[in-house]
Chain A
Amino acid sequence: MRDLELPPELTVEHCLELDAREEFPDALCDSLTDLGAERLYLPGVPAERLLAMIRDLAGRDFTVALAHCKTYLGSVATWVGGSPAQVAGLAAKVSGGAVVSLALTERDHGSDALAGDVTATPVPGGYRVDGEKWLINNATRADVVCVLARTGNKGDARGFSLFLVDKHSLPAGTYRCLPKVATHGVRGADISGIRFTGAVVPADAMIGEPGRGLEILLKGLQITRTLCGGMSLGMGEHALRTVLEFAENHRMYGRRLADLPLATRALADSYVDLLVAEAVTVVSTRSIHSLTGEQSLISAIVKYYVPTLIDRTIQRLAKVLGARALLMDGPFQKIWRDHAIVGVFDGNTWVNLSTLVNQFPALTRGYRDARVDQEGLAAATGLKQPLPPLDPGRLSLAARDGCSLVQSLAVSPDAPEELRDRADRLHRSMAEWRPRGREVPPELFGLARDYAQLYAAAACVRVWADNALDDVWLRACLARVFGRPDEATEHLLDLTRRGRPFSFLRGVTDHDT
């Protein structure tokens, strides 16, 4: 089932030309809007449908995906924390094709949102916004910008508020868009900035209560960080398809490159990496609806694990191309450049790992007590199970009861012995560390990585058990998660080379349609 057929002019070749000219894909974005892509950004749309579109778009061209889907990132804080009137007002604008951007980062502060210098000062009738936001996707093109601004003290988590700033309603001279910066990847994207100078916005531009900005923002990011998995999936699949096609046709040592054992292994490993990434991303996206209160953890795991995994996959695929990876500038090279940003934006890898580390106490307690939301977990991993609509009120900045998926390993009869042993050992190590309220020791990041790996393995086990997938799928996925060779991996690749679709899980859900 597809919500959106991609426009015919959205071809890889055309996008490569635009990229070479560092040109924004205006016409392609307009076509997507004409086709109604923006309706998937509205509140109430199941997250899986938006994920599918992001994955499809990123699988064709990431610059276009980033340029168009940014409107969801700009809107999500309003869906999560806005009043009914704000939600209705923004929904009308988005439905009308408005571009919405999120202006969070500043030149001197990067991921340190609490150090933000942009201020919003109360004035009669509203707030006056001053200061500069930089490296903002679509800052220049946007009609509406969602701005995080300081309304209290620097460093105070309650010192920031979010404002929906409609650029069209600002008096001339109160804001200026900054020039697009030259970037390593997504060269056509509008990565720019915006500087406000006494820009007065009405009081009802504030999303939620004063001081709630950071909380609302972080809750919204729990959704978008999860959806970032779809970007990696789309690009990873595109990269594998490109390299596989080359390897099937290129002859070396008297046979096809794809049949050289080392190349076969690299392709097979890459393929199964994608299956793992798919299981993790799909389960985690469904969790937005059914394990909503755990999404602070789940989103951090996906946002760390999937882009990191696919970065490595692309690196491995580059080795299959050999010198050709560096000789020309084709689809693979663009993906290689473009994908590098996924692990950085929207909360980078270290930010996400430290989110996990900060929740170790809840995770060790949750595992010890085997706390599992069985109903929510079954809905997340049973791909045909109905999902409740998202209740944003259930989003929370910390998962009180830990992570149902990992904790289910302690009690699930389907859990392989190996996995339970790993889980026991890991939680013991996590519990041995004395929790610290500042400066996370680097060693704990290693445990957080192990935790994400365990989550990925658990996702595979539950998806396999709850959807009657082949045993060979599970064997291959677990082998990849833990980085050991297994002939099941090559067997799966062989099926794909003989025409089986790339995605196993799409096969599961597509039976419905």
Chain B
Amino acid sequence: MTLDHIRLWLRERVAFYVERTPEEIDPDAKLVEVGLDSVFAMSLSGDIEDEFGLVVEPTVAWDHPTVNALADHLHAEVA
């Protein structure tokens, strides 16, 4: 699993939830600023489990609050 793949998937996921195109999501912007509600952001943990078979805390997006930060964290976890 490459970092690029994770980042791409995550950016698409966030874009889907905030109803924008992936290109419109700044990977270094806070997810909250992109428009993702912080309570809803907890459901990303379910998507992550489905996609990568990786069990993470629901608060993972609170601790890694941008697409890039979260992708880095997941990449380290998968490796």
Contacts and interface: CB of A to CB of B under 8 A. Distances in A.
B32 A359 contact: no
B36 A437 contact: yes
A357 to B, nearest CB: 9
Interface string A345-369: 0000000001100110110010000
B51 interface: no
Contact of B38 (A157, A359, A435): A157
Contact of A359 (B43, B55, B59): B43
Contacts of B57: 396
A354 B39 contact: yes
A398 interface: yes
B52 interface: no
Closest A-B pairs by Cβ, 6 of them: A437-B17, A398-B58, A437-B36, A157-B38, A157-B62, A398-B42
A155 B18 CA distance: 17
A256 interface: no
A156 B43 contact: no
A361 B38 CA distance: 16
Q: How large is the interface on A (under 10, 10 to 19, 20 to 34, 35 or more residues)?
A: 20 to 34
**Most chain A CB within a 10 A radius of its CB, from B19, B38, B55:** B38
A398 B58 CA distance: 6
A156 B38 CA distance: 8
B38 A114 contact: yes
Contact of B39 (A358, A362, A365): A358
Interface of A: 114, 155-158, 215, 354-355, 358-359, 361-362, 365, 396-398, 400, 435-438
Contacts of A362: 43, 46
12 contacts: A354-B39, A358-B37, A358-B40, A361-B43, A398-B58, A436-B17, A436-B40, A437-B35, A437-B36, A437-B40, A438-B18, A438-B40
Nearest to B19: A436
B37 A397 contact: no
B3 interface: no
Contacts of B24: none
**Most chain A CB within a 10 A radius of its CB, from B32, B40, B65:** B40
Contacts of A436: 17-19, 40
